[in-house]
Amino acid sequence: MSIVTESVTPALRRESATAAAKPASCRELLAAFTSRNGHALDAGRLQFVNVEGCDVYNTTAPFEHDGKTIIAGRVEPRDTEVATTVFFARRAEGAWEPFPGAARLPGLQDPCVTVIGGELIVGGVRSPVELADGRVGYRMEFYRGRSLGALRQFLVGPDGMKDIRLVQLPDGRVAVFSRPQGVVGGRGKIGFAIVAGLAELTAELIESAPLFPSQFLDDEWGGANEIHVLSNGRLGVLGHIACFDDQEHRHYYGMVFSVDPATGAATPLRMIAQRSMFPAGPAKRNDLADVIFSGGLVRHGDGTATLFAGISDVETAYLRIPDPFAEFEA
């Protein structure tokens, strides 16, 4: 089995051992963001139809497939967290409806989509499941196929790990971002590894991916949501950073950073969005009122981009913002 490439693993481990910089907190990143006059150029909600009264949130960004513009989303009743991943096609008037012939993945939350080797790769969080130690928890599953109607499972991630993301590098290798919790990872930190291809990817390798240093305080957490291969070969990472307040309410923010795949070195986190920038609306629970989950980003090539995000675990919304990856390509 081919494991993490030698060009990446030693660099990450050396940096992890010697890094002394203190991570920036949510509060510090938010202060820096607001001081940059962080704002949205436009904002709005996505409309979903034929979902039988369910909420649709934590979607991917739109992607093109079979001549259609598609989005994958988490669909569930307001009073539960029992979700189904559904693929939607955009109608002429802008609303989104379930795509005929596409597989539905019951029990799968928070989908992610990429293309590797010409195949669609769809991941999601299976919850609830019985873990190896007998507890009830979650793990990620990944599916592949040439069409949305012919997806087959090829990978199950480590127990208790969300926010695993994959991307194909220009040389054909596959970069993987992990997010362990517990003894390694605390409340959630981001790891990184590179493998030769999908056949080399295992739960054990994902679990052992070295962590980026100095990204999150121990009482805060974060994860990768979508990976972009930038024009200079760097990887642009769209993710989230989160914390609790004194009332145990959650606060989630959109953030970005970039990674040099040749060395494994990452830039500092930079906040790009907060809940107040999106349209006001309901929350699934009171402790989720200030939550956004960065699902995906569409770059427009004119210095702007559209961020798609789940808001308050109820809806999907978008922001048009200055392209947050432009600075990493300068």
Q: What is the DSSP code string of 281-315?
A: ---SSGGGTB-EEEEEEEE-SSSEEEEEEEETTTE
Closest CA relative to residue 187, chosen from 153, 163, 157 = 163
- Mean pLDDT across the chain, nearest whole number? 93
Q: What is the mean pLDDT of residues 9-37?
A: 71
For residues 194 and 279, give the distance between their C-alpha atoms in angstroms, rounded to a whole number. 38
What's the CATH superfamily of 9-68+161-329? Glycosyl hydrolase domain; family 43 (2.115.10.20)
What share of the chain in percent tops pLDDT 90? 92
**Which helix (DSSP H) or strand (DSSP E) does residue 44 occupy?**
strand 42-45
Q: Which of the residue ranges 37-51, 116-130, 256-270 would you say has the lowest mean pLDDT?
A: 37-51
With a cut of 60, say whether residue 214 has pLDDT above it.
yes
With a cut of 50, say whether residue 89 has pLDDT above it.
yes
**Which helix (DSSP H) or strand (DSSP E) does residue 155 occupy?**
strand 152-156
Specify whether the CB–CB gap between 60 and 111 falls below 8 A.
yes
For residues 284 and 289, give the distance between their C-alpha atoms in angstroms, rounded to a whole number. 8
**Coil, strand, or helix at residue 18?**
helix
Specify whether the CB–CB gap between 25 and 32 falls below 8 A.
no
pLDDT of 20? 54
For residues 241 and 255, give the distance between their C-alpha atoms in angstroms, rounded to a whole number. 7
- Residue 48 pairs with which residues in a beta bridge? 96
Specify whether the CB–CB gap between 319 and 304 falls below 8 A.
no
pTM for the full predicted model:
0.93
C-alpha 84, offset from chain centre: 17
For residues 237 and 177, give the distance between their C-alpha atoms in angstroms, rounded to a whole number. 9
Task: Please give the C-alpha separations between residue 32 and each of 24, 119, 250, in angstroms, as whole numbers.
Answer: 10, 40, 20
Kindly tell me the burial class for residue 90, based on how many C-beta atoms sit within 10 Å of its own C-beta (0-12, 13-18, 19 or more): middle
- Reported as a pLDDT band with limits 50, 70 and 90, residue 1 is very low
**Which helix (DSSP H) or strand (DSSP E) does residue 329 occupy?**
helix 326-329
C-alpha 196, offset from chain centre: 22
The widest CA-to-CA distance across the chain, in whole angstroms, is 54
Return the number of other C-beta atoms located less than 10 Å from residue 7's C-beta.
Answer: 12
Specify whether the CB–CB gap between 316 and 291 falls below 8 A.
no
What's the residue count for the chain? 330
pLDDT in tens, 12-23: 432 343 345 899
Closest CA relative to residue 314, chosen from 102, 144, 103, 76 = 76
